[in-house]
Structure 1
Amino acid sequence: MIVAQVPSGPTYGATHLRCGPQQVLRLERQTGRDGVNPIWTPVDQIAVTMPTPRHEILGPGYCSSSQFPDDATIIALGTMAEQPDGSYGSENVVKAWRFDIKRERLAAIPVNGVLCAVDGGD
C-alpha cells in the first residue's frame, strides 16, 4: 500500500495487485476503521501490462516528476539499475501516473522528467 495524506482531507492509498500476466493499480480512499485497521474503498483502478519481466511498479516514496514538482504521489513503470555510487536509479520508464485527488483517479502523466531513486542503504 502506497499512502498519501491530503491536508484536512481523507487518506488515499494505491494498491498493486498481480492478476496473472496483467497487473492492477487501484486508488483507494480510507473510509473508516475497524479497530486499529483502516478500511479502504476503491475509487479508481487501471490495468497495467508489464513490457518485460524486469519492469516493476516504482512507488511514490522513490519517484518524482519535474512536471509535477509538488506532487509526492508519482508512480512509475520502469526498471531500476545500480549506479556507480551504490544507489539505484530508474531506467526505461515507460508509463507514469499521479494521484489526482480532486477527481479521485490515477492520472497518466508524461514520463519525461520522471525519476525514481533509492539510496544504496535503503
Structure 2
Amino acid sequence: MAGGPAYSAAELKCGAKLSLVLQRQTGRDGNLAVWSAVDQVTIVKPSPRHELLQPGYCSSSRFPQDFVFALGRMVEQPDGSYRSESAVKAWRVDIKRERLAAIPVDGLLCALDSAD
C-alpha cells in the first residue's frame, strides 16, 4: 500500500503451539522500526511434522490478492519441488480490518520449485 502503514507477521513458537502475530509499524526509534501487534492467532499443531507455511510459498484461489499462511506439511515431489500436503488450516491477512482471517483450505496451494 503506497503511503500506508507497513505490516509484518511474526511466528512465535511454544512447544506444540504457535502464535501468528500481525504487526503494524507505528513509528521509528532511530533507524529501527517500532511495531505494534494488531492481531494474533494461536495455533495448535496436529502433529510435529505440521509447520506454518509462509505467504512466499502459499496462495489461495479464493483470495488471490491476499497474503496467505497455512498449517500443513511440505512434501518433496519426484521433480525435486515441494508441495503442501495435509493442510488443516489457513489464514489470510485482511489489511482493511487489520486482522488474520481464517479461510478454507480448499483452493490453497503452497509450493516451492526445485530451483528456489
User: Taking structure 1 as the reference length, what is the TM-score of the superposition?
Assistant: 0.90
Across the aligned residues of Structure 1 and Structure 2, the Cα RMSD in angstroms comes to: 1.1
Structure 2 residue runs of 5 or longer lacking an equivalent are none
Aligned to 2:19: 24
Structure 1 residue runs of 5 or longer lacking an equivalent are 1-5
Aligned to 2:36: 41
1:109 pairs with 89, 98, 103, which one? 103
How does 1:29-108 map onto structure 2 within 5 Å?
Answer: 29-71=24-66, 73-108=67-102
* Structure 1 stretches of at least 4 aligned residues deviating more than 3 Å after TM superposition: none
Deviation at 1:29, TM superposition (A): 0.3
Q: What amino acid sits opposite 1:50 in the alignment? A: K
The sequence identity of aligned pairs, in percent, is: 62
Give the aligned length: 116
Deviation per CA, 1:11-50, whole angstroms, max 9, x where unpaired? 1111000122211000000112223321110000011000
